Each structure stands twice: as structure tokens, then as C-alpha cells.
Chains A and B, each alone.
Chain A
């Protein structure tokens, strides 16, 4: 480091002329780490150019090495630092290691002093003699442990102190991710405890189990441990272990495992073909003949694991020794697996497997010592992703291919260990492995894209089970699984010792058969509790978006009689013979549907069939619980409709048709473009206006021109809300637009009038022109067209300075105009594209809106467009594999927002990847440098040049925090529902809570035009069916876009926004919650601009609450029913 000091000494003065080769020198010297020869001359002259600029210090050796490493070994500087930070978080302190070592010593000492016993199995029972020998006492104590298995004879149990105690597992390889410590100990049972044929009929397992209890008993009497529990190794019911909480070590769990001494059994006894269970010791009810003749592959695997454990451990230890980067990578991968919950339950991706793969890669030289942890992790993923383990087998030993093939016949995945006799992946669930593969692929893809928050998504975000899948089936209620299916004896014999696994596989197969191509992943998850009893049983399903919602499940061709019969047998009444358009005849299952919602429901129908009829299992399914809140129940169209899709589609079709007509009109300037702006066009509008005819109603409306207006009488009930469908029109280019704003706007009006007249004369379509827009009534829907003339925008921005210089400046007006007429249509178009790629986006986003609005956060605080964009970002950034149902889209939105840190991360909505990587980095850097200058919720889109136009003023910090808090609470609520801890319905999430508000204003329901949008859970009794739209000659435009509640809120916010916040459920809410701002009650000095709504109070002025509350009445006359002051 001597060179470093040198540089610093030099900094004071460097001469331009003499040190021309300075940098070259520093680079060289830095590499060779030689002190640089300094010359006194340099300090004399200081060149002026260097004085001007802030001088850069020459790089230090460390820096150079760092950069070089980052460049070669990591994807980016940020990623590297993040890895380092995470690893340091996972580090285990030396103090704790020392503690544990000390404990281990005392533990070994305790084991050495164990007494020896030799007792027959039959003597293990609760003795009740007056004079108890120590042996009797011991026996009665052992009898307290439940007998987990059975064996065929009265064994003689010999207990002698263990030969050796070895460490194994991640801690032993120095790759355990902290901060919790987990140490695995392997106690080697001396050979003389066993007989030659103990591998048969559970005898070994029995002795092993009692050997462990023998140790447990003696540990209990000492003061080494705080607690001893019997648990199971990797949820394997044949391999019990002891879990100890050592004294003097916090957050530490020691697992004690027992294996036979190395030469007790011959490893070949546990090859998969061999039979080791000759009697029905598991209560399978199978005949002895069947048992004797079949291979006991899983029983063998359990024993094989024990026999090979110490060989494999020492091999892994030797390979992983001194490989600090690889060890670090194992830690990272461990975190990754845990975040995805891949290590939980039966058949999971265990630590043993992880170590196996890493060792395999090291042995095969796919990774090496010089790779960084990042590269190792990457290699692991790419290996997992590309290796086709279904068909190819791996082996760490040199075994002939015959042996491998032999294993392959029995196991789905084969990963042979060092000895070549044990399959490490024996219990691995193939479906889970495929899911791990998919996640690896995704992680690699993320790394390749190298976005700024990749690291978080991969390592730091916890992915709960139910968020990973489109659909979760909870079969916990049918546990323990009953064997009431027709499973062949041979298959049962194969699973001897693991009947549960056999049933799980059967259920999985059946469900899979029913779904066919509709699913991508069908992952079982069986959790176990005490005594290895299954407590939770789930299936997670990822749907295949292309096939999932098909209305036909195609079976085999009719002339393939055998297959066709089998298909019919499986599907029962649902199957039918069908002839298709291309002339083929097949047996098939046809699901009749007429709405998108019903198509999504096909999945449920299949599940009902397969779980109910085929498997007879009780189940709870988390799939489309939330669809219900999207359905308009009080107001239904005459055509079949489910969620919003049908009506949206109708409107889009009408809009396209009308657009065509508009473009064909003969006018002085032709219409060249029609762009939809409303959310209707991208299906994220919760309640699109249902096409309808509108007539004069006696009590409220009258006719004025082409429109219905309110009659002079006081309106009793406000007609239902008719939302105008917003569109933007573009005209062909012309240079003849007038050059003053006022004139241009008049010409625009003239165009509206011209279009209006043309539509009337050539198509008989009625419309209503105003200076701002043109309303067209077509197919029962009101379309609102606005013209976008770029010159108008220029004129709004135009300013002339005193010197006569013309400049274009942004103003509030121009900003609003540009946003709504130029940027918004482009975003709407992009969202429409997104929706056609991911059909769940629209309804999913609508669900988010429904939720947020029902939490009384309305468009004023959190605009619809912002919800759209945030929701779009989740799809575009692939934070999860794409969601296929609205429900999962909604849940992931909640997840995102609950963990969202708006200060750190911008929301990237990169439509079609229009923003280049450089653009994004540049904007992110700018954001980080000067956070306060940008909006709190910063949304990056390709259309607004990094201005985040939609979030410039809202949402503010309070609202964002509130939404975050709400998202977190809602998510934990949903978690409980899905994971079966809570049995209330989801509706609670959508019921506004008015507690905690200072004032609640109750509104008159009849004056609320959106009263039909209220959430209803039961079947609505007074539902209104909108009659089918029919074109009539004297049709009229309805009262459009008239919502007094909105007007009321607008007025309240305008007048009292300084003093209070107003909360309201936009979808038909009949109450407004008012919250006084804390500063409202402050008494302030008199100033002319502060007097509003205040009253004099002793020389100062104070808030005039009573008058303001009365104002609420006055301003909302006929709308406000009562005001509740709290």
C-alpha cells in the first residue's frame, strides 16, 4: 500500500510538462505495487488547467483491482455491492462459532460417558415395579417415545457410546446462510449394535430410532441442552432425527442424525432393484407374495442415505474446501430457494440437493475457484435450466450406464452420489423441480436484462406460495389421505413405507390428466407437523395462457377405440363424440360458456369434477374469489355478461365502426386518426356504460335539441350515470389554422359542428357539439371526441418576450392539454396492446381500482391512470411470471405496493422496450441525485420524456403511505384466507370503514347517479336489466357525465381542501369521510389571505368549524341527507 501514500503526497502539485506519462506510470506501478519515484520538480509548477478543474485523484491499487473484478466477474457495480451487503447480512459471527465449538466439545464428552445397555425390544414399556433397576428406569423412559414403525421380530437393542460424531450439511461446508445457525451432527453407531440382516423389515430403522432416543434421554438428564425433540430429516418419515437447542448458544438448532458405522452394511443392498421388506410391517395390506417380489426403492433410498452419508459428506467437504466464492454462492442460492419456499414440505428441493448440484458442477469443471459467487450462481441457474433431468441422469461416481439406466427406471430424477449406490434426488418431486427450473430461467432472464432492481426481485422479495401460482388448491381438510382409489398393488409395493407419497402421486396424476395442456406447473406441497403427520396439503397451479381457457378438451380420435374408451371412462358424462370443422372426429369434453368470466371458470368446473367426482376430496380453492366484486349486479345488460369484458368489447366494436364512419366523412380536413382514451378501451374500466336507449322521464327530464336535459322541476331522482367514452381525433395536416388561440378554438368548434352535421345527414347519427368537445350517440353509447391540433398546443405555450423574441413555455394549461390530448392517448394505446397480450391485465386492474376506491381513496388522491401504469409495470417488468387471472394480478399488485419504496425505485413502465437501457440508467441517476425535484411516485414511460406527468401533483406522501399500509393489511388478510387460517369471505376487503373520521357526510342515495355500482354480495334483489339497444328515429342523447357527488366533492375540496381531507368511495358510495388537517385548528395571526373560513379569536383568527360544517349542508343541498359529527 505504499504506493497509495505516494499518490496522496503528490496530489498537491503536478507539472503538466514533465509528468506526461503520469497515468501510464500510475497504472503500471499500481499493478506491480511498487512505490512510485517522486521527483521534487513536480511540486514546483502548477498548471493553470489543473487548477481550474477539480482534480481527480489517481486511482489506488484497490480501486483498480475492484473495477477490474467488477468488470470481469459481475454484471454491474451495484449488483456486486448488493451481493456483498447481503452476504455480510448472512455472515455468522466468529463469537457464535466459538460458542458452538465449545458446546460441541462438551457434547462429545457427554456422549463418551454414555452408559451401555443391552435390552430386548419387548422390555421397552412402562415398568411399574417397586424396585426399579437403572435398566428398568431407562426402559420406561424409552417407552414414552411413540413407536413410529413396526418390525417383524423382537430385536435385541444394544446401546454403546457412538464411535464418532461428524458434522455434515451446510454449516460443515461453511456455506450456511445466517443469522440463524443450523448444525447437523452425524452420530456413527458402532457396528456391534447391529446384526447382519438388520437392513430387512425395518430392523435397522428401529434400532436407529431407539439409539437416538437413548441419546436423547441422556442429554435430557445433563445440562447441555435446553430442549430435545424428535423430528424428521427432510420430512422423511423413516428417518427421525433429534433436534437440540444447545445451552449457551442463541438462535441455534442442532440436528442429530445417526448412521451405521461404515462397514456394517454393504451398499449394494440398497440399489433400487433389491427388495428389503419381506413382511407387511407398514400395514399396507398387501400380500407377502407381492411384497417379496417388488423392489422397495424408497425404503432402500432411506437406508442408502444413511449408509452413504459419511462418504458423501467427506467428499463434499473436500471439494468445497477453500472455495470461498462457491461457499458464498451456496449461501445466496439457499436464500433464493428459501424466498421461493422451495425447501419446504415433502419432496422439496433440499439443501442436500443444492450441495449435490454445486459439487457436481465443480467436479465437472463447470465452475471453478476463480469465479465470483455471482458467476457460480449464474452457472447453477443455467445448468438447472438447461439440464433435462427427466431424461438424463447425473452421477458423481464412475458407474456404467447400465446402473444409471437401472436407477432411471425407478426414479423420475436420478442424481447418483459419490458411491454410485444412492440417488440423492430420490424423493425430489419432479413437478417442483420443473418449477425450480422455470424460476431459474426467469432469474437468468432478469440478470441478462440487468435492471436496477433485479437483485431485489431475485433475492430479497419473499414469494409466498400463493403468489407464485394462478390457482391454489387446499386439500388440508381431506388429510390424512385415504386410500380409496384403485391403485395397483405393484405401485403400492414400490412406495412401501411411504403410502402418503403414493397417494399424492396418484392425486397429482389424476388432476394433471384432467387439465392436460391447460397447466404449465402443478406443484404439490405437503407440509408435515409433529410425528411427521401431514398437516397441510396444497397444490399450486400455473396456467398455460394459450390453452387454459379453451372450451374444448380434445380427446383421442374416435377410431382409436382403446384410448377413446379410456377417455370416456375418465370423463364420464362430460365426454361426448364430436365432429370438428376439419372433418376429424374425436371424443371431447365441451364446456359451454358465453362470457369471459365463464371461460375462466372452466378451470373451476374441471376442478370440481376431478376433485369431487374422481377423487372425492374436500377442497378449498383460491382462484376466482374476487371476480364477484367486478360483476355489476344491480344493473345488468340484456346480453350475457360476466365481468366487464363483454360490455367493453361491445363499446370497442361500436367505436371502431364509428371511427370508420368518421374517417370516411367528406370534410374540409379529413379525420385521419381516432384514438380511444377511456379505460373502456383497455378493459380496466370497472363499469363501462351499458349500451341503452334513453327516453324522457316525466319527473326529471325534458328535451332540448338532441339532448335530454333536466326539466325545471326539482329532480327527485338523478338518472343513472352515463359515462362518456373519451376519444381523441386527429385531422389531416394543414397550414391554414389561424395564428391566434381564440380564432383557432373557434375554428375547432366549427369542425365539431361540421362533423355533427355530416354525421346527421349521411348516417343519421345524432350528436351534440360544444366548444370543447363533440358528443356522439352511437349504438347506445355516448362517445366524446376532442380534437387535438398540435398548433393549439404551440399557441398555448407561445410567449413573446420584451425584446420580441418568441419562446415556448410550459404552463399549467399547456401541460394539462398536452397530457390529456397527446400523451394520454398514446399511453391508452400502449395499454390496449398490453391487454391483448395479457388478457388478465384489464379486469385485474379494475379489481385494484375497486379495492382502492372502496378504501375511500378516489381519483383525486390516486388517479385511475396511475393505477393503470403501476399495474402495467408489474406485467412489463416480469416481477413474477405473467398472471393469468385477475385475482392473482390483484394480489401481486398488493404485494408490490406493500413492499414498494417509492424513494428508491421508480416505477418503470417501458412499453415495447421503447426506452433504451441508457435512457433508463440516465433517468435513474438523475432521480437519485436529486430526489426531491421529482414526483414522489416516479413513473417512467416512453411517452413523457421522464416527466412522470401523471404523478406530478398526486399522490402525495400521506396517501402513498396509507395505500402501502392498506396493501400490507389486505395482503396479510388474504394470506390468511388462502392458507386456510381465516374463513371469512373476501368481501371484508371491500367494505369501507368510516371509523376515525371527524365528520361523516351521509348522502341521499337517490341523488347519487352511481348508486348501482355499489358492492353487493348476495344476489341483488332489485336488479335492473337494461333493455337491448335499438336504433330509433327519435333517439336522444342522455344526460351524460353528470355526477353531483363528484361535483360536491370537487367543491368541498376546492373550498376546504386547506382544512380537511375528503374521502369517498367513487363506486356508488353514499358517505363522505372528512378528516380535519392537524394544522386547521391552529390559531394564526390575521392576514388578508388567511381569513377564509376563519373567525376572529382574541386578536388572531381561528378555524370556524361550525360554519364550515353548515357550509357542507348548504353546498350539498338536496344531496346531503345528514351530517354526523364525531
Chain B
């Protein structure tokens, strides 16, 4: 399926495409692209029209990527995703470029250049550097009224949902066949289903079992407790010795 059209840069079924930041750029990043094909078909990534792109530089946005690929054909939209490997993302992204037509995709695979990410003609200029941070700051200032409305809205919906849930939960009424569903509500709700509760219960059991035991009754018990004492002494001695050895290795005992 892959289009291996003699491009020498191809690597592992990926086609390599250089991407510049702007026309004045002197160096470029290399995008690794191939046709997107997965068994599970997602609606947003239609098969046959979606190009899978790796190594998208951190400053690229969905719009700028769209304009970059529009050289090969009309792009319907692009999707940017963080590389999933690291938790916070590495800044570099992968993208799905969805073309209007399949020709666009095929063109892209054959192409040897893309539009730069940022051009003067952009309707929405790519915000980078100081401009970006300033914009971020400005948008972090909230209008109290809007914020209040947002909270109110959410809470209204939430309360309603809660109310509904409560109603549906309520009532230990018998169903059609005369069975009553026992819920956690009511006079005797039973113990909570929590891990901590389980742990506590187990600990309690253990304690109870221990209480039943006589500790200093049999001779072997006394003997064992003595042995344990010796073992503890030995252990502390060994630990101290280990520490000394490490210190010795670090030449800590040379006083001056």
C-alpha cells in the first residue's frame, strides 16, 4: 500500500518530508509520514484520506500544519496529538492530516517539499515566543461574572443529576417478581467497600489471633525469642559493619 516512489530518504515504510519554519529558515525538521491505516476505524480519521505524521515540531499548530500540507492538496483538517510515551509529552507531536481527497494524500507522499509553517500571508499568524506567552497570560485572566455563570451552570446540572440518582437509588421496594434490592442505604448499610476497611479488618483478625496465643509458654518459644534477640544484635552489628566498610571505601577515616 505504501507509496515507495524512489525517494532515497524513505525509512521503514515512512516517507521523509522536510519542513521549514518560514521562507527564511536555513534548516529544517524532517517529518516522517505514511498513510494512516489501523484496523479500528475512527470517524475523525477516515481511511484512505488520512496521513500519519511524526516529528511535528513543538511550535506547530493545527492551522499552521494545515497550511503546510495544503501544497499537496486541500486539507480538510488536522489533528495534533502529544507523543504518548512520556507523561508530560516531549513537546514534539504527531499529527493526522486529513485530506479532502485521496489525491492530496498521494501527492503528499510523493512530494519533496512542504509549505513553511509560518508565512506572512497567514490569516491567523502563528503565535510563538513572547507573543504566545503574552496571549496565554491575557487569557488566564477571568471575568468574575463569566466564571460565576460557568460554576452556576455546572452545579445546576450536577445537582439535578444527583437528585435523579438519589430518586432512582431510593426505595427498597420489591420489583415485579417480589425481590427487594438491598442497597447501601438504610438502617443497616453493611461495611463500606473500601480497601482500607479490608486492611483494617485483616489486621484486626491477626491481632485477635495473636491474643489467643501464649507467648512465653513453651520452652521452644523462650528459646526462639532469645535467638531472635541474638539475631537482632547480630543484624545491628552487621549493619554497622557495612556502613563502616562503605565509609572506609570513601576514605572517610583519614582524619587529615
Residues of A within 8 A of B (CB): 16, 20, 22-23, 47, 49, 56, 58-59, 63, 66-67, 76-78, 81-82, 85-86, 89-90, 177, 335, 338-339, 456, 459-460, 462, 704-705, 707, 709-710, 714-715, 718, 738, 740, 742-743, 746-747, 749-750, 753, 756-757, 768-771, 804-808, 812, 901, 903-904, 925, 928-929, 1007, 1039, 1042, 1044, 1047-1048, 1051, 1054-1058, 1086, 1088-1089, 1091-1096, 1099, 1101, 1104, 1106-1107, 1109-1111, 1114-1120
Contacts and interface: CB of A to CB of B under 8 A. Distances in A.
A162 B227 CA distance: 66
A710 B134 contact: yes
Per CB-CB distance, the 3 closest pairs between chain A and chain B, nearest first, are A1117-B129, A1055-B91, A807-B195
A1115 B59 contact: yes
Given A85-B244, A704-B143, 5 more contacts: A750-B148, A804-B193, A901-B252, A1093-B29, A1119-B129
A806 B192 contact: yes
A91 to B, nearest CB: 12
B193 A770 contact: no
Contacts of A1094: 30, 55
Interface stretch (B69-77, B170-178, B207-215, B230-238): B230-238
Contacts of B253: 82, 85-86, 89, 460
A903 B246 contact: yes
Contacts of B83: 1089, 1092
Nearest to B155: A746
B220 interface: yes
Contact of B32 (A81, A89, A1091, A1107): A1091
Contacts of B243: 78, 904, 928
A16 B142 CA distance: 78
A931 B237 CA distance: 18
B118 to A, nearest CB: 8
B145 to A, nearest CB: 9
Nearest to B8: A1096
A805 B193 CA distance: 5
B131 to A, nearest CB: 7
Interface in B156-196: 158, 162, 192-196
A1058 B58 CA distance: 14
Nearest to B52: A1088
A746 B151 contact: yes
B11 A1086 contact: yes
Contacts of A1119: 129-130
A771 B147 contact: yes
Given A715-B134, A1118-B131, A1095 B154 contact: no
24 contacts: A66-B237, A67-B233, A77-B237, A81-B240, A81-B241, A82-B253, A89-B254, A335-B255, A460-B253, A738-B162, A740-B158, A743-B158, A753-B147, A769-B142, A806-B194, A806-B195, A928-B239, A1044-B133, A1054-B90, A1091-B32, A1092-B55, A1092-B83, A1107-B57, A1117-B131
B203 interface: no
* A459, A742, A756, A1118: residue with the most chain B Cβ atoms closer than 10 Å: A1118
Contacts of B248: 85
Nearest to B236: A77
Contacts of B194: 805-807
B25 interface: yes
Nearest to A800: B193
Contacts of A23: 223, 226-227
B113 to A, nearest CB: 15
Interface string B9-32: 101101010000100011111101
A904 B247 contact: yes
A77 B240 contact: yes
Given A459-B255, A1110-B26, A1111-B57, A1096 B129 contact: no
A696 to B, nearest CB: 14
* B16, B58, B130, B192: residue with the most chain A Cβ atoms closer than 10 Å: B130
Given A86-B255, A768-B142, A1096 B9 contact: yes
A746 B55 contact: no
A965 to B, nearest CB: 16
B87 interface: yes
Given A67-B233, A1096-B9, A1116-B129, A808 B58 contact: no
A903 B249 CA distance: 12
A901 B250 contact: yes
B54 A1088 contact: yes
A1056 B89 CA distance: 11
Contacts of A335: 255
B233 to A, nearest CB: 6
Interface of B: 9, 11-12, 14, 16, 21, 25-30, 32, 54-55, 57-59, 83, 85, 87-92, 128-131, 133-134, 137-138, 140-144, 147-148, 150-151, 154-155, 158, 162, 192-196, 198, 219-220, 223, 226-228, 230-231, 233-234, 236-237, 239-244, 246-248, 250, 252-256
A10 to B, nearest CB: 14
Nearest to A700: B134
Contacts of A456: 252
Contact of B151 (A82, A90, A749): A749
A704 B223 contact: no
B21 A710 contact: no
Contacts of A743: 154-155, 158
Given A56-B231, A1007-B130, A1101-B11, A1055 B144 contact: no
A1118 B129 contact: yes
Nearest to B16: A1096
A1117 B128 contact: yes
B233 A1099 contact: no
A1092 B84 CA distance: 12
B129 A1114 contact: yes
Contacts of A1093: 29, 55, 92
A171 B158 CA distance: 87
Nearest to A704: B141
A876 B32 CA distance: 57
Contact of B11 (A177, A929, A1099): A1099
A1107 B27 contact: yes
A546 B32 CA distance: 70
A293 B187 CA distance: 107
B58 A1051 contact: yes
A339 B255 contact: yes
A904 B251 CA distance: 13
B69 to A, nearest CB: 18
B253 to A, nearest CB: 5
A1106 B244 contact: no
Contacts of B133: 1042, 1044, 1047
A180 B242 CA distance: 28
Contacts of B143: 704-705
B55 A1111 contact: no
B144 A928 contact: no
B138 A709 contact: yes
Contacts of B192: 806
Contacts of A1114: 21, 57, 59, 128-129
Contacts of B237: 66-67, 77
B141 A709 contact: yes
A90 B255 contact: yes
A284 B195 CA distance: 90
Contact of B242 (A338, A928, A1058): A928
A1107 B195 CA distance: 52
Nearest to B22: A1114
Contacts of A925: 239
A1096 B130 CA distance: 32
B25 A1110 contact: yes
Contacts of A1089: 83, 85
B58 A753 contact: no
Contacts of B246: 903-904
A210 B16 CA distance: 94
B137 A710 contact: yes
Contacts of A90: 255
B198 A56 contact: no
